[in-house]
């Protein structure tokens, strides 16, 4: 599958990205190392919230170059990777190494590369994962400028290539600084990968923990512009025993809750290698949709320019009315509004260029992208095994033991919980359904209409399922009764179609185990 993705990108998407300067506007061109990279976890948070201690907790040991303390200690980005021996690779060397997926970081210059390094060590967890530690986010404009590089854009670069993004908060420091807010805002396009961790939760008693959790959700609600509630894990993720607050020496915090939250988080981390290939497919589909919209916009602006006179005046006019140009492009090419870039950032990029230098849009280029999304990607998905179990090396079950372990994944139950349990009900096909859903046209809320969903649902059900059965499946999957489906509801519909194709009757009510977590049933 990875080889197929590399070939598709090189033959169909990369030529379009080069021609329309997609790398300058959005994200640098991809290399083979980007496709071959292991699943990546990105840790983001303000200083001293426990990011580095969390990584040490996962590894069961310190890593080279690690610094931990109550003051802002980590002053650089550190990619923690597997290696046969302990060593650190400086940023300038790492970005030119063909074996490491960090070549794109050269765009941020020497000021950033001097603050980036790769730490390699022989840890079992790292055989299947790469973990990226980040500097603590500071308050104040002076500290931000003193970094010498754009922290927000660097975080965005890593977020685009990460499979999971953990936002860490300290139970005693819930404030969100301006820089942290900007970082969270650039993660909006990756909301499916973002999780929150309320760390050091054992340092407050049960009553205060409830208040802290409410305050965190209120703070996030002011920054996140989505109706969905972000998943927040509670716990104390470091190698030391949990603190006790009761007068008799017992814990004043809910131990069972912390154990369950820790198990859920570790389950999610353990599942990352299982669907790594499908996530790469999903990211390539997302990138192709953005590149298609980008090409349509530049081609539209080029066509609006006069042949000889009044070019500067016309360019200023187009820049001032970019929102209307976006609407024209959307109507002309039938593009979803969610695939368009932020207007302000796009205008800033365009202001530095001459529209007359933009290439004219070629219908063949758009057809290649459409063929890639509707034919090549589904064919690639069909070659994936329906249900694979790829565990993390060195993971063994040790339930009932409270003793510290060199591998914290060993303390996690092998039984899936929460969202993972729901995905198990779908026979492990959720990532495959997500990749198909990513090719559909969706509205601003991320929901696909019946017209968009009809073709893949009919293909899934084949000719052996009646029209009445398909109508019943739609009614069951449309839990929100909005007449449209989100990604989770679409996955349920695809699952029911597969069941019906196999000869099973369509249920009269959706079983509780199949109710999507996105509909308020998070277990």
C-beta of residue 67 within 8 angstroms of C-beta of residue 3: no
- Write down the pLDDT at residue 302: 93
Please report the domains of the chain, with CATH numbers, ordered by start residue.
Answer: 1-36+275-397 (1.10.268.20), 38-253 (3.40.50.300), 398-519 (1.10.238.10)
C-beta of residue 440 within 8 angstroms of C-beta of residue 338: no
Angle between helices 276-304 and 311-320 (to 10 degrees): 130
- Write down the pLDDT at residue 420: 58
Counts of helices then strands in the chain (DSSP H, E): 23, 10
Would you give the end-to-end CA distance of the chain in angstroms?
33
- Write down the pLDDT at residue 402: 40
SS3 assignment, position 372: helix
Cα–Cα distance between 383 and 166 in angstroms, integer? 31
> What is each CA distance from 61 to 208, 395, 481, in whole angstroms?
32, 15, 50
Q: What is the pLDDT of residues 302-345, one digit of tens each?
A: 999 988 788 889 999 999 999 999 999 999 999 988 899 989 98
Phi-psi region of 64 (alpha: psi -120 to 50; beta: other; left: phi over 0): beta
The token pair that represents 288 in the structure block: 């192709």
* Burial of 112 per CB tally in 10 Å (0-12, 13-18, 19+): buried
Cα–Cα distance between 437 and 481 in angstroms, integer? 19
- Write down the pLDDT at residue 187: 87
Cα–Cα distance between 41 and 190 in angstroms, integer? 13
C-beta of residue 458 within 8 angstroms of C-beta of residue 470: yes
Task: Tell me which residues of the chain have a pLDDT lower than 50.
Answer: 247-251, 388-417, 521-523
CB atoms within 10 A of CB 81: 24
**In the Cβ-directed half-sphere of 364, how many Cα atoms lie within 13 Å?**
2
Cα–Cα distance between 326 and 437 in angstroms, integer? 24
DSSP labels, 420-441:
HHHHHHTTT-HHHHHHHHTTS-
Q: Which strand (E) or helix (H) includes residue 198? A: strand 194-199
Q: Running DSSP on this structure, what letter comes out for residue 11?
A: I
The token pair that represents 308 in the structure block: 């000889």
- Write down the pLDDT at residue 468: 86
C-beta of residue 329 within 8 angstroms of C-beta of residue 300: yes
């Amino acid at each position: 599958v990875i080889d197929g993705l590399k070939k598709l990108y090189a033959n169909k998407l990369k030529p379009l990205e080069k021609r329309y300067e997609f790398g300058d506007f959005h994200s640098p061109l991809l290399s083979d190392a980007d496709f071959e990279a292991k699943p990546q976890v990105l840790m983001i948070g303000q200083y001293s919230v426990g990011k580095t201690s969390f990584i040490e907790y996962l590894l069961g040991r310190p890593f080279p170059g690690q610094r931990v303390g109550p003051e802002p200690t980590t002053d650089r980005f550190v990619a923690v990777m597997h290696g046969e021996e302990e060593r650190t690779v400086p940023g300038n060397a790492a970005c030119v190494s063909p074996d490491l997926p960090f070549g794109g970081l050269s765009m941020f210059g020497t000021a950033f590369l001097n603050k980036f390094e790769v730490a390699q060590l022989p840890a079992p967890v790292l055989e299947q994962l790469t973990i990226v530690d980040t500097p603590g986010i500071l308050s104040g404009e002076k500290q931000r400028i003193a970094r010498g590089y754009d922290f927000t854009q660097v975080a965005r670069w890593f977020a685009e290539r990460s499979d999971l993004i953990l936002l860490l908060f300290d139970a005693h420091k819930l404030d969100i600084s301006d820089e942290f807010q900007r970082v969270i805002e650039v993660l909006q396009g990756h909301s499916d990968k973002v999780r929150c961790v309320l760390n050091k939760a054992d340092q407050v008693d049960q009553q205060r923990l409830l208040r802290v959790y409410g305050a965190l959700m209120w703070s996030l609600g002011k920054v996140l512009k989505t109706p969905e509630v972000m998943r927040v894990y509670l716990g104390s993720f470091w190698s030391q025993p949990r603190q006790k607050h009761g007068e008799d020496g017992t814990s004043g915090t809910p131990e069972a809750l912390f154990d369950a939250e820790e198990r859920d988080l570790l389950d999610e981390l353990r599942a990352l290698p299982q669907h790594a290939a499908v996530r790469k497919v999903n990211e390539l589909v997302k990138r192709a949709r953005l590149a298609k919209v980008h090409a349509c916009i530049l081609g539209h602006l080029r066509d609006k320019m006069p042949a000889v006179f009044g070019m500067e005046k016309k360019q200023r006019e187009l820049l001032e009315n970019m929102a209307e140009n976006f609407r024209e492009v959307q109507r002309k090419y039938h593009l979803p509004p969610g695939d368009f870039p932020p207007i302000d950032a796009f205008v800033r990029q365009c202001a530095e260029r001459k529209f007359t230098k933009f290439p004219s849009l070629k219908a063949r280029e758009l057809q290649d992208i459409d063929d890639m999304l509707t034919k090549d990607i589904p064919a690639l998905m069909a070659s994936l095994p329906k249900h694979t179990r790829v565990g993390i090396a060195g993971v063994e079950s040790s339930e009932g033991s409270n003793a510290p372990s060199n591998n914290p994944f060993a303390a996690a139950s092998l039984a899936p919980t929460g969202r993972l349990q729901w995905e198990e009900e779908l026979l492990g096909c959720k990532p495959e359904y997500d990749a198909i859903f990513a090719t559909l046209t969706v509205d601003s809320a991320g929901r696909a209409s019946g017209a968009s969903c009809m073709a893949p649902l009919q293909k899934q059900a084949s000719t052996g399922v009646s029209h009445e059965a398909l109508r019943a499946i739609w009614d069951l999957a449309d839990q929100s009764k909005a007449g449209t489906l989100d990604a989770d509801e679409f996955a349920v519909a695809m699952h029911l179609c597969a069941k019906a194709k196999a000869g099973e009757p369509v249920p009269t009510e959706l079983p509780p185990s199949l109710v999507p977590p996105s509909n308020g049933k998070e277990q």
